[in-house]
Amino acid sequence: MDRHLILGLLLFMLSILIMVVYAFAALMPDVLAFALGTSVERLQFALVFIPVVLLMMLFSVGIAYVAYSIVLEARENKGKGQRESGR
């Protein structure tokens, strides 16, 4: 199998597992909190805080990628301009 397909399937299964945990926590938060050894309030805070932090990290990586691609394109354009002026 192609590596990209396997990686895609693994990420899909991970997302399904995360959705199951969130559904279980929404329906029976006291059971999950007891199993993890924490209070319901701390569990609910963590279940809200973790996706927000991940989203913020994803945003920062996206912004860094866009900035990096702009810098690379500027370097390429500068190199093309120097080659054309040298001809």
Q: Does the structure show a pLDDT above 80 at 71?
A: yes
Report residue 87 as tokens.
């001809």
DSSP 37: T
CA-based nearest residue to 40, from 50, 53, 51, 27: 27
Query: What total of structural domains would you count in the chain?
Result: 1
pLDDT digits (tens, 9 = 90+) for 19-68: 888 888 888 889 989 988 999 999 888 888 888 888 899 899 999 999 99
Alpha helices (H) in the chain, listed in sequence order: 3-27, 29-36, 40-86
Instruction: Pick the more confident residue, 87 or 55.
Output: 55
Stated pTM of the model: 0.50
- Residue 62's domain comprises 3-86
Predicted confidence band of residue 86 (pLDDT cuts 50, 70, 90): low
Predicted confidence band of residue 11 (pLDDT cuts 50, 70, 90): confident
pLDDT for the residue 1 = 62
